[in-house]
């Protein structure tokens, strides 16, 4: 599978950010010499208009926006770029020899990220954007590709905001970054990207999210979560990768009474189409691991929250409604419990898992033993919804989003359970901790404080809203 020439090949083209028409030949990218600097988080980024400059061969802009490639450039070398890479000590000892040794003991293959091409679908979505920022900060060479259709499920301005944060970080990183606008449900586009860039690692975070939305718009979930994921699997089969990591969801546990939820629990009774598509993804991945020896790892995320998150998530929509003096509804009369997980913890988990691919092995029948794994990523401390809302209120007041005398009770309504919802989510993340030495650590107070401070800056300072 041919890949785009990047920092591991000849320096033949400009580094200036620009849009390349899908009918043009895709430019190659010269080697970078910039010194890696601290990468801002999405919450710290500026939201000014993205600058576009005239191409000059000596410029050093590191992020490009391209459309779907139509030509397949020569395959890149996978060895030259890592020859002189710097030694990086990552958070949690992910590059530590002991960490790699543990991977071998649990039938994992260590995946070096430096010098590689990494495709992140669903970036600049919420989790995807934060993961790309982390990669731009941690890697010393290579290429990171963001791939998203920028749909209007929620206001695209927020995705544009995250994309600007990525572009700003890329300008300070020794890593190349490309943004390609398109849908994983488009088989031709997905396959052209795989053929042109030959990603070494794929992280599939692109999906139609939302339990409630799936009740009214089921067809969207079939296109993105089933057809789209099939296209990703096919791309990884035709153009082999070292590791495919994909997002599943705690929704697959449905109304299970046993808590905490463990990955070996029975999950055959989903209560929403969204949950059914995520369970289907796990089954499809297992099939491709077995039949085609594709190393896959699924991650069941538990109620992710944080700055610049999805506006349809409860914490974000509640903050917005409080500001607009609209009523929030607390379903199941506020007696739901959720295992809220801060986005930085999610990204830390994904980052580590990317580096530990299930090992390829043959069984007695000569066929692959499926290089397949599945993990929960959750805080392991479910929070009562009423307590969560109380903490959110306090942090919104502290951040000066709302006045101290705000009458919260006037804008809270207790309501019965709604279709597709579940009373509790609670992650058993011991397998993740045992295999990768990590457990989420950021508590609700700290996480909501960071969100409230970001919300104040984004809504009032940057957008000038009253």
**What letter would DSSP give residue 251?**
G
Backbone angles phi, psi at 201, to 5 degrees: -130, 135
Is residue 328's pLDDT more than 80? yes
Candidate list 153, 161, 239, 274, residue with the active-site label: 274
Dihedral sign (CA 421, 426, 431, 436): positive
Q: Which of 280, 272, 262 minimizes the C-alpha distance to 422?
A: 272
Mean pLDDT value across residues 436-450: 94
Residue 103: predicted pLDDT: 86
The three-state secondary structure class of 246 is strand
Structure tokens at 16: 């200036």
- Residue pLDDT, tens place only, 283-312: 999 999 999 999 999 999 999 999 999 999
Residue 415: predicted pLDDT: 83
- Residue pLDDT, tens place only, 84-100: 333 333 333 333 445 56
Residue 463: predicted pLDDT: 58
Among the residue ranges 12-16, 245-249, 315-319, the one predicted with the least confidence is 12-16
**Crossing angle between the packed helical segments 156-170 and 126-138, to the nearest 10 degrees:** 0
Is the omega angle on the peptide bond into residue 30 within 30 degrees of 0, that is, cis?
A: no
- Residue pLDDT, tens place only, 22-67: 333 343 343 343 333 344 456 654 433 333 333 333 334 467 887 6
Cα torsion for 406, 411, 417, 422, to the nearest 10°?
-30
Q: Which of 3, 79, 43, 95 minimizes the C-alpha distance to 351?
A: 95
Burial class (CB in 10 A: 0-12, 13-18, 19+), 351: buried
Residue 425: predicted pLDDT: 83
Residue 150: predicted pLDDT: 96
Query: 130 falls in which pLDDT band (50, 70, 90)?
Result: very high
Q: Higher model confidence: residue 85 or residue 161?
A: 161
Query: 74 falls in which pLDDT band (50, 70, 90)?
Result: very low
Please identify which residue in the block is written with the tokens 């969560």: 388
153 flagged as catalytic: no
Query: 332 falls in which pLDDT band (50, 70, 90)?
Result: confident
Q: Higher model confidence: residue 26 or residue 191?
A: 191
Residue 44: predicted pLDDT: 52
Query: 335 falls in which pLDDT band (50, 70, 90)?
Result: confident
Distance CA 355, CA 413 (A): 45
- Residue pLDDT, tens place only, 348-394: 999 999 999 999 998 888 888 999 999 999 988 889 899 999 999 99
Q: How many CB atoms lie within 10 A of CB 416?
A: 8
Distance CA 86, CA 156 (A): 37
Mean pLDDT value across residues 167-173: 98
Spell out the residues 6+ positions from residue 232 whose beta carbon is closer than 8 angstroms to its own.
121, 184, 190, 202, 204, 244, 246
Residue 277: predicted pLDDT: 95
Q: Higher model confidence: residue 409 or residue 184?
A: 184
Is residue 81's pLDDT more than 50? no
Distance CA 74, CA 184 (A): 23
Distance CA 321, CA 168 (A): 31
CATH 3.30.300.10 describes domain 92-309+340-382+425-441 = no
DSSP string, 266-296: -----SSHHHHHHHHHHHHHHHHHHHH---E
- Residue 308: left (phi > 0), alpha (psi -120 to 50), or beta? left
Among the residue ranges 34-48, 135-149, 169-183, the one predicted with the least confidence is 34-48
Residue 381: predicted pLDDT: 86
Spell out the residues 6+ positions from residue 203 whose beta carbon is closer than 8 angstroms to its own.
118, 119, 120, 121, 128, 131, 244, 245, 246, 350, 354
Rg of the chain on CA atoms, in Å: 22
Distance CA 195, CA 68 (A): 11
Among the residue ranges 156-165, 171-180, 364-373, the one predicted with the least confidence is 364-373
**What letter would DSSP give residue 22?**
T
Is the omega angle on the peptide bond into residue 124 within 30 degrees of 0, that is, cis?
A: yes
Residue 33: predicted pLDDT: 38
Structure tokens at 259: 């808590």
Residue 20: predicted pLDDT: 36
Is residue 271's pLDDT more than 90? no
């Amino acid at each position: 599978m041919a890949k785009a020439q990047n920092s591991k090949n000849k320096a033949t083209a400009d580094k200036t950010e620009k849009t390349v028409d899908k009918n043009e030949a895709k430019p190659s990218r010269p080697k970078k010499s910039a010194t890696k600097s601290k990468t801002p988080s999405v919450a710290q980024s500026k939201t000014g208009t993205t600058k576009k400059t005239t191409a000059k061969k000596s410029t050093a802009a590191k992020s490009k926006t391209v459309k779907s490639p139509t030509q397949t450039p020569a395959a890149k070398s996978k060895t030259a770029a890592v020859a002189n890479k710097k030694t990086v000590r990552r958070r949690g000892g992910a590059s530590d020899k002991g960490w790699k040794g543990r991977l071998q003991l649990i039938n994992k293959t260590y995946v070096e990220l430096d010098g590689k091409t990494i495709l992140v679908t669903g970036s600049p979505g919420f989790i995807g954007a934060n993961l790309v920022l982390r990669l731009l900060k941690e890697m010393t060479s290579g290429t990171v590709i963001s791939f998203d259709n920028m749909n209007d499920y929620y206001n695209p301005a927020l995705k544009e905001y995250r994309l600007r944060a990525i572009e700003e970080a890329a300008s300070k990183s020794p890593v190349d970054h490309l943004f390609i606008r398109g849908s994983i449900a488009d088989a031709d586009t997905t396959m052209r990207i795989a053929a042109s860039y030959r990603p070494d690692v794929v992280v599939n975070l692109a999906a139609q999210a939302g339990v409630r939305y799936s009740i009214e718009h089921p067809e969207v979930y079939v296109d993105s979560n089933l057809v789209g994921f099939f296209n990703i699997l096919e791309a990884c089969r035709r153009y082999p990768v070292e590791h495919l990591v994909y997002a599943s969801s705690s929704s697959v546990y449905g109304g299970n009474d046993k808590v905490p939820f463990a990955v070996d629990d029975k999950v055959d009774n989903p209560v929403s189409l969204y949950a059914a598509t995520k369970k289907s993804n796990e089954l499809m991945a297992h099939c491709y691991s077995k039949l085609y020896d594709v190393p896959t790892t699924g991650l069941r995320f538990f109620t992710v929250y944080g700055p610049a998150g999805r506006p349809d998530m409860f914490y974000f929509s509640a903050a917005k409604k409080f500001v607009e003096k609209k009523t929030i509804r607390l379903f199941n009369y506020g007696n739901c419990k959720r295992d809220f997980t801060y986005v930085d913890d999610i990204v830390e988990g994904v980052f580590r898992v990317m580096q530990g691919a299930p090992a390829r092995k043959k069984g007695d029948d000569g066929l692959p033993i499926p290089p397949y794994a599945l993990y929960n990523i959750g805080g392991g401390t479910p929070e009562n919804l009423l307590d969560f809302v109380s903490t959110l209120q306090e942090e919104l007041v502290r951040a000066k989003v709302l006045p101290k005398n705000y009458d919260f009770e006037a804008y809270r309504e207790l309501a019965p359970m709604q279709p597709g919802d579940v009373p509790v989510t609670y992650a058993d993340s011991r397998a993740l901790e045992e295999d990768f030495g990590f457990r989420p650590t950021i508590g609700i107070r700290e996480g909501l404080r960071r969100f409230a401070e970001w919300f104040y800056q984004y809504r009032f300072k940057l957008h000038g809203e009253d």
